[in-house]
A and B are shown apart, each in its own frame.
Chain A
Amino acid sequence: MEELALLFPNLTLGFSTAVSPANLFYCFAGVFVGTLIGVLPGIGPLAAIAMLLPLTFNLPPVGALIMLAGIYYGAQYAGSTTAILVKLPRESASVVTCMDGYEMAKKGRAGPALAVAALGSFFAGTVGVVLIALFGPPIAELALKFGSAEYFSLVVMGLIASAVLAHGSLIKALGMILLGLLFGIVGTDVNSGMSRFAFGVTGLTDGISFVVIAMGLFGFAEIVSNLERGGAKRDLLFGRIKHLWPTLDDFRRSWKPAIRGTAIGAFFGTLPGAGPTIAAFSSYALEKKVAKDPSRFGSGAIEGVAGPESANNAAAQCAFIPTLTLGIAGSGTMALMLGALTIQGIAPGLQVMTQRPELFWGLIASMWIGNGMLVLLNLPLIGLWVKLLTVPYRMLFPAIMMFMAIGVYSVNNQSLDIYITLMFGVLGYVFVKLKCEPAPLILAFVLGPLMEENLRRALLISRGDPTVFMTRPISAGFLVATLALLLIMVVPAVRKKRQEALEDQPHDTTA
């Protein structure tokens, strides 16, 4: 309660710092640059922040942090735009947005999809800011309780949940998960440092990059199958645009998923590593599970955009909690933010809140303002983006191909990645033909290495005793939840069969 009493003066201090003209400018500059790099291929947020870091040496610390943070969440925010418009996920969390967002775009509903993504993100960002202000330190303490055993069990739960993502054959989904796990094995063995399945190619010793797989299976495969359907000739691949803005029905469907997604995102965001990705996937799985008609998912359900986008953004905001309060970086970008703090002569940690309160609270208040700016910046852009889709496909697809190639190359500056993308593009086309969903494969590809790393580390620390996964309470909790998930998946199928046999009451899917 002490925190609650302090919150008001703290936020007042924060806002009075953040609304100074200079800081408002830094905030705007940050989210503007973030939006640009989120939409354009070439440099990701990590590289952009690294390049702009020296520029911030001469700024006051608050201004520098506000700008760098703006780039980070601005890019996160804009990442969904390319996912929805042209099925190009720039980061793993956007893969989920592709599934229903792009389908909506194809049906001429790109506008509502983009608007709901923007508003859901804003809502999630607002909640995230309040959460950081209220519970930052205790949440960070909780994140510290996560050891390898907990991560392993969490990832297992995520993998099982990913089977829900597939709309269609469960067997095919499981097959795709296995394939994803196999692709994830390529790289370097964490414990021994040996390279595996790299075939002597140095470029493969770090594994296949996520962008390569995602661009290949989604972006490239989509282009090939569009061309096959005569997209180039027909010119209008995308449906006639009915609404630029979401309808009342869209809002009615979206607000609950946005709230649930925010809660999920806030939880996973504080965990280092795959926070936003697991959050987005979990939110999608949940929405599909609670939906009255799950079959709409994968063919343009707005809930499938609202939930994951909120989750993704809440997670991105909450990733600041361990960074600011404990000085622990969960991702490369957060490590850079820590570096920026250090170079400014500030040691991150709880003492920042007491010694430099204007810095801590100013940053938090600026994040809220920045989120508002993003909405103002992105809503007018929606009209422009939607116009883009009316460009004839024969002109659009070479542009997408070029953007993809630049984006893939710039991750590691190696051309090998472009060839591997091509291979995955061909594979993705085969999957389209076989009606196999690539999303579970990608999730497994992201989570597989995490699962392996943490499984082996947990067993290394327990000296080979597998009971650690059950004796540690948080880990056991995740495993129980996994079991429950499995039951939820299996039971309706069984009940459905029985109902078909008895034919006594209408089909009930509210489970």
Chain B
Amino acid sequence: MHIERHVRHLAAGLVLAAAAAGFAHAQEKASAYPGKSVRWVVPFPPGASNDIIARLIGQKLSEAWGQPFVVDNRPGAGGTVGAETVARAAPDGYTLIVSNPGPSINNVLMRKKPSYLITDFSPVVFIGYAPLIIVAHPGFPPRNARELVEYAKINPGRVNWGSSGTGSSLHIGLALFQSATGVSVVHVPYKGAAPALSDVVGGQINLMYTTSVTGEAQIKAGRVKVLAVADEKRQPVLPDVPTLAELGIKGAEAKVWFGMSAPAKTPRPIIDKLNREVNKALGTADVRQRLDALGLVVGGGTPEQFNAFIKNESERLAKLIKIGAVQVE
């Protein structure tokens, strides 16, 4: 009996010691991190916003730690290809991903058999977001989102609303708008926001969601008009355009956001270290200025905050899917 107890104690002690050693090891690993080059996967082709963000912040991290942060473009299937790679990578902090709505939420929830799950990633830090704005052809009668709702109710199924593709953030934004207002419009998907915007300018379709940066040139030239900002507050570049909430449309806020995530089970100390350094980079004047030029509201904050944000966004989409506002493949 005694021996058994001894053994039990010994085992418990060993487990504790191992855990402590493991903890110390993790700590030690974190202080040594990064000991080699870090691969930061961008699941989109070079030149996309994700790519520019990764190169901008990656450069800061490289300078801070003296280890290169290599941007690895893995485009394909709306970001799924790159996200798959990272979901299966070793959780050692040497493979990271630029997370954003498509690969991190939409592509997972909108597939019957997704090849990875939202929980396959550990959120590291929220980098920033671009609020969506509704732009319309100048000849389209409604002058703001409230009039748009009235117009769409009188003319059911006559309004053509473009998006950058089925399942894209712009499409989800439209679905949120429809479920919040109960209007029904025809969704016209394009392969990207640019051709859709070109058709709004040309009057081939009536309106679409876009970001202020994508629409900037057309807004300034008066080739499109802005009906609303789908954010909690007005946009500094569009001070006269009311928010959806101001126009009486609640719960339809929509944004394109960017962050950094690691594979699930990446040691917490490494995540914290990355989080601190990215927050520091987001505070520098030149990064702020570049992100501002991309139309981004700069983020930051703790991994927990980012995790809660992703959870909230995915619950909103799950609800849309449940009520049939967007279809699952």
Contacts and interface: CB of A to CB of B under 8 A. Distances in A.
Q: Do A and B form a real pair?
A: yes
Interface of A: 46-47, 49-51, 53-54, 57, 144-148, 188, 190-195, 202-203, 205-206, 272-273, 322, 326-329, 332, 335-336, 338-339, 342-343, 345, 347-351, 412-414, 453, 457, 460-461, 463
Contacts of A272: 194-195, 198
Given A147-B204, A345-B293, A351-B221, A335 B216 contact: no
8 contacts: A148-B204, A202-B77, A202-B115, A326-B218, A327-B221, A329-B194, A413-B73, A457-B188
Given A412-B76, A461-B160, A191 B166 contact: yes
A328 B201 contact: yes
Contacts of A191: 166, 189
Contacts of A349: 217-218, 220-221
Interface string B36-71: 000000000111000110011001000000000000
Nearest to A51: B46
A162 B165 CA distance: 30
Interface in B115-155: 115
Nearest to A410: B73
B249 interface: no
Contact of A147 (B202, B213, B327): B202
B202 A144 contact: yes
A253 B75 CA distance: 44
Contacts of B180: none
Nearest to A57: B290
B191 A192 contact: no
B19 interface: no
Contacts of A351: 220-221
A456 B62 CA distance: 47
A202 B327 contact: no
Given A202-B80, A347-B216, A46 B75 contact: no
A190 B73 contact: no
Contact of B220 (A49, A144, A203, A347): A347
Nearest to B216: A347
A190 B327 contact: no
Contact of B47 (A53, A188, A345): A53
A214 to B, nearest CB: 19
Interface of B: 45-47, 51-52, 55-56, 59, 72-77, 80-81, 84, 110, 115, 157, 160, 165-167, 186, 188-191, 194-195, 197-199, 201-202, 204-205, 213, 216-218, 220-221, 223, 290, 293-294, 327, 329
A342 B217 CA distance: 9
Given A205-B77, A206-B77, A342-B213, A147 B52 contact: no
B52 A53 contact: yes
8 smallest A-B Cβ distances: which pairs?
A327-B217, A50-B46, A193-B166, A147-B204, A144-B202, A349-B217, A205-B77, A336-B47
Contact of B80 (A145, A205, A413, A453): A205
Contact of A460 (B45, B186, B217): B186
A348 B202 contact: no
Contacts of A148: 199, 204
Given A202-B81, A328-B198, 20 more contacts: A46-B45, A47-B46, A47-B73, A53-B47, A147-B202, A148-B199, A188-B77, A193-B110, A326-B217, A326-B221, A328-B218, A332-B47, A335-B194, A342-B294, A349-B217, A349-B220, A350-B221, A351-B221, A412-B74, A412-B81
A254 B46 CA distance: 38
Given A50-B47, A326-B217, A412-B75, A453 B191 contact: yes
Contacts of B165: 190, 193
Contacts of B166: 190-193
Contact of B167 (A46, A57, A193, A326): A193
Nearest to B82: A413
Contacts of A203: 76, 81
A336 B52 CA distance: 10
